[in-house]
Amino acid sequence: MKSFCNLTVNFIIIMVFFAITAPVISQGFNSIYSLNGSSVWVVGPAGTIYRSNDGGSTFLNKSTGSADYYSIIGVLPINLWISGSGGTILYSTNNGNNFTAINTGITENFTSIYFTDNLNGWVVTATGKIYKSTNAGSSWSQQSTPATNQLNRIRFIDANTGAACGNNGTFLITVNGGNNWSQSVLPVNKDILSFDIIGNVIFASCRDSYVLKSTNLGANWSVIDYLIKTRSDITGIDMISANTFYSTGIGGFIRKSTDGGAAFTYQNNPAWADLDKMFFYDSLHGWATGKDMNLILRTSNGGQNWFMPNGTTQTLSWVQKIPLDFYTSSGNVFWQSPWNKKEIFVTKSNRVYRSLDIGETWSPIGNVMPYGTISNTLFVSPKDSNIFLVAIDSNDNEHGKVLRSTDYCNTWTATFSANRSSDGIPMAMDPNHTDTIYYGPTDSVIFRSTNFGLSFSPLGSHYFENICAIKIPENSSNTIIVGSAGYTQNNKSLITRSTDYGVTWTEVDSNRGPYPEVPAIISSTLDPVMYVTQYQGNEGGVKRTFNGGASWSYINIDDAAWGFDIASDDPNVIVYAVWSYAGNVPGYISFNKGINFSSLPPITLTNNFSVYFYNRSNLLLQQANGFYKLKATFSIPIGIQPVSQEVPKQFSLGQNFPNPFNPNTIIRFNIPLLRGVSEGRGVLTQLIIYDITGREVSELVNEELIPGTYEVNWNAVNYPSGVYFYKLTSGDYTVTKKMVLIK
């Protein structure tokens, strides 16, 4: 630590500072790295370079140039390299205080860079080439490889043994420093987005929810299927040991495995965003970046807790995507295409709509159905993308039908007719045998189809008064769980269970009261826990089961609980929405399986019909007046911000505002044009925070600043109450002022 009396300037930061307005709204990062666990560097498009001196709590803007930067790597103690578009290489020998551009004479896009020591390094390109340098990057020579596809990442474990991954199943291995590269034969032909290597063990992350594992340096591979229904890309992966690794991806999940991928824990993070790259300095300190937003997450306890940078705000709001007339869709009417992971279908009354961008935009397909006004359930055959199945009711609360199309919704045929009450989700698919469909009429036995709704047969002899929901658990086709409402049976809703394919049934739970219903029964491919919502009655709310539905227990009491879903990529994240004429509260979210719930943003009219949790960062609600999607925006204060282009006449350091403060305060200062300094050049400026004993606690500014007026935010959320001093040093000018933190 430095004190007032021995503060010295021992390095210089040279940068081009471009005018931006606070706060910075991000567009994503491409790489993150730390040499020592405290200094953290992230790089991204259009010259973006950010640096943290406090492990990721705060960041300074060190952007320079205009190239897109794709990768950053370092070698102890203080050497750093950045690679980017058009053959760009930046080199620093002082932990990034200066970066020098190297003229490589190459115009390829350098997608990844790695150095094993201060001299020997490699870069890979978007056209499948690999180059090596033996002089710290001053010059590069091309190595021969069998690759023809884009390469995405390169890593070495020593001067001889390394690997590179790329698109279309490309994975290269070398054991002689790249003099020879051989193609490893993979079990899947997917784009390999990232990998890590320790010894002979490799974990490689792929598109479509796959991770590959090799324990013999790529000679053989096994496949770890992440079992995410939406087939999210696994974008980032980082190993701590041969058996412990972290991974993240589209949707924003973070997984950890300590047994080589046999089992996973799902780590909570506060961001509602897709995640991309990740890096761990040791078993405790790690970071992950946003894919499309300037978002950085950090952990200092191995992922038990993840945090965004200090001062970050995340704003959630609902956007209506399709307007609805009241009560024209009632039930689970969303369905993800089995053929295109970004394609979603939904029914609006008697018409099917399609989105090709995860619910951002929608358009109708096919023709209007010849019957019905209230659609309840929608399925698309996983075997034939032309075959659609819709459960639909009339508005007389008496007549329901199953409509089937085999030509992508152009023509429809009724394959089953029965009385229905127009409520709930009367149709279910067996997730283990997708041609098997169950349908529940009113005052009737359940009917089953084994040919995707072409024909139905009665199942067993048990009569249900009014079926609201049917569920067949994952990996248990013999078990059928039915939630029903009993308006004439003493106003009692029931959860009834069969474990012999519907031959015999047992009542396992009930709820008595005015108009009780069981609107939703939900499960996940990632966890055996199932959930049910119970509406009204004596104690409506959310229940769950750990034993396949044999018994149920409350996790939250709420007599307005209605629609429910689980994030497809993280079983810890659950949402239930409410049916409430009071309005303004569409529902609640939990990130820990219901231990705690918090409110979602309000919607004016909140009569909910269904929840569709595509993945952790894409949530859709079917409300009475339309289909809505949750939107997240981030505002991240990135270090110092210029607030005026007018050149001040003299140095000055303003009093922080507010003062006293808790926990944020703003410090403003002026830098004039110095005699002997040419226009456009800057002067080394430092702004450092000290505690009452004179110990440095935070470095807010340490860079060359051109003349202007600047302000910087200090977030003291991690510091105790007390007196602090902030000291500005710029050229020969030095001034110190006092501020007070009161919590």
Q: Are 190 and 206 in contact (CB under 8 A)?
A: yes
Asked whether residue 683 is domain-assigned, the answer is yes
Res 526 pLDDT > 60 = yes
Most confident listed range (52-61, 326-335, 385-394): 385-394
Do 612 and 473 reside in the same domain of the chain?
yes
Instruction: Confirm whether 121 is domain-assigned.
Output: no
Boundary (domain end) residue, out of 610, 635, 660: 635
Question: What would the pLDDT profile of 427-482 be if each residue is shown by its tens digit?
Answer: 999 999 999 999 999 889 999 999 999 999 999 999 998 899 999 998 899 999 99
Instruction: Specify the pLDDT at position 681.
Output: 67
Domain boundary among 613, 635, 657: 635
Give residue 583's pLDDT: 63
Largest CA-CA distance found in the chain, in angstroms, rounded? 96
**Do 736 and 629 lie in a common domain?**
no
Residue 265 lies in a domain: no
* 31-35, 235-239, 321-325, 636-640: the lowest-pLDDT one: 636-640
441/338 same-domain check: yes
Is 689 in the same domain as 624? Answer: no
Helix (H) or strand (E) holding 155: strand 151-156
Q: Is 688 in the same domain as 610?
A: no
- Residue 17, pLDDT > 60, answer no
**Residue-number span of the structural domain to which 711 is assigned:** 644-741
586 inside domain: no
The answer to whether residue 398 scores a pLDDT higher than 60 is yes
pLDDT band at 332 (very low <50, low <70, confident <90, very high): confident
In this structure, are 702 and 631 located in the same domain?
Answer: no
Show Cβ contacts of residue 175 under 8 Å, excluding neighbours closer than 6 positions.
160, 161, 217
Instruction: Give the least confident one: 142-151, 633-642, 710-719.
Output: 633-642
Q: How many CB atoms lie within 10 A of CB 694?
A: 14
CATH number at residue 713: 2.60.40.1930
Do both 495 and 623 map to the same domain?
yes
Please check whether residues 494 and 374 belong to one and the same domain.
yes
In a domain, 351, yes or no: yes
Q: Which residue has the tokens 């010295």?
A: 8
534 found inside a domain? no
**To the nearest 5 percent, what fractions of the chain are helix, strand and coil?**
0, 50, 50
The model's confidence at residue 719, banded by pLDDT at 50, 70 and 90, is confident
- Are residues 613 and 664 located together in one domain of the fold? no
Least confident window among 177-186, 275-284, 333-342: 333-342
What pLDDT is recorded for position 13? 24
Residue 680 has pLDDT above 70, yes or no: no
**684 vs 21, residue with greater confidence:** 684
pTM (two decimals) = 0.84
In a domain? residue 435: yes
Residues 629-643: tens digit of each pLDDT: 999 988 776 666 667
For the chain, give the mean pLDDT. Answer: 89
Quickly state the pLDDT bin for 732 (edges 50, 70, 90).
confident
User: Strands 344-348 and 618-623: what pairing?
Assistant: unpaired
Query: Which CATH number is 436's domain given?
Result: 2.130.10
Instruction: Give the residue among 486, 528, 479, 532 at the shortest CA–CA distance from 506.
Output: 479
Q: How confident is the model at residue 98 (pLDDT cuts 50, 70, 90)?
A: confident
pLDDT at 488 over 60: no
State yes or no: pLDDT of 7 exceeds 80: no
Report if residue 721 sits inside a domain: yes
Q: Both ends of the chain: CA-CA distance in Å?
A: 25
pLDDT digits (tens, 9 = 90+) for 685-702: 899 999 999 998 888 887
Q: Are residues 469 and 605 in the same domain?
A: yes
Confidence of residue 27 (pLDDT cuts 50, 70, 90): low
The reply to whether 686 and 611 lie within a common domain is: no
Tally the domains of the chain.
2
Which of residues 536 and 44 earns the better pLDDT score?
44
Higher-pLDDT residue of 20 and 102 is 102
Average pLDDT of the segment spanning 116-144: 97
Q: Is 4 helix (H, G, I), strand (E, B) or coil?
A: helix
- Residue 123's pLDDT is 98
Residues 365 and 471 in one domain: yes
**pLDDT tens string 28-52:** 799 999 999 989 999 999 888 988 8
